[in-house]
Structure 1
Amino acid sequence: MTDTPTPAVGQIWQDNDPRAYGRRLLIVELDATHAVVELHQPRRPTSSAKPGRRTRIRLDRFRPTSTGYRYVATAP
């Protein structure tokens, strides 16, 4: 089993929520308690969310649970 890395700028994470299946987020900023992320890939082509949209997510949600996020890769 692969360990989940500590969130860092430049990483891509995927939403585990089945309602947002396939949605990927790029971490662009970090502070002590939150990550600022950009929508890297919308959950589906018909989604109204635009790539590049930013939001803040608590760092403790970056873990592979049903309501969290799973690490995918480091952005090129």
Structure 2
Amino acid sequence: MTETPAPAVGQIWQDNDPRAEGRQLLIEGIGDTHATARQVALTPDGQPVPLPGVRQSRIRLDRFRPTSTGYRYVSPA
């Protein structure tokens, strides 16, 4: 089984919450307890493109795990 990596700047993570189906985030910064991320769309070749008008989110680091209320790792940017 593949281990989930620790959140790092430049990684893409997907929201597991069914209310945010398909929401993908690019981590832009990491602090002691939170990460800052922005919602992105991925191009066919896997490059992240920031969505216009979407604000930056601040997410607790302990939520970056594949649970129903967490996030799952997608790829490095």
Q: What band does the TM-score fall into relative to the shorter chain?
A: 0.7 to 0.9
Which whole-Å deviations, capped at 9, do the CAs of 1:17-72 have from their partners, x for residues lacking one?
0111110000000000000001113xxxxxxxx82520100000000000000000
For 1:56, which of 46, 58, 63 is the aligned residue? 58
Runs of 4+ with >3 A deviation? none
Q: TM-score normalised to the size of structure 2? A: 0.82
Q: Secondary structure at the match of 2:4?
A: coil
Q: CA RMSD in A?
A: 1.3
TM-score normalised to structure 1 length: 0.83
Aligned residue pairs total: 67
Match of 1:13 in 2: 13
Partner of 2:75: 73
Runs of at least 5 residues in structure 1 that lack an aligned partner in the other structure: 42-49
Which residue of the partner structure matches residue 34 of structure 1?
34
Identity of aligned pairs, percent?
Answer: 67
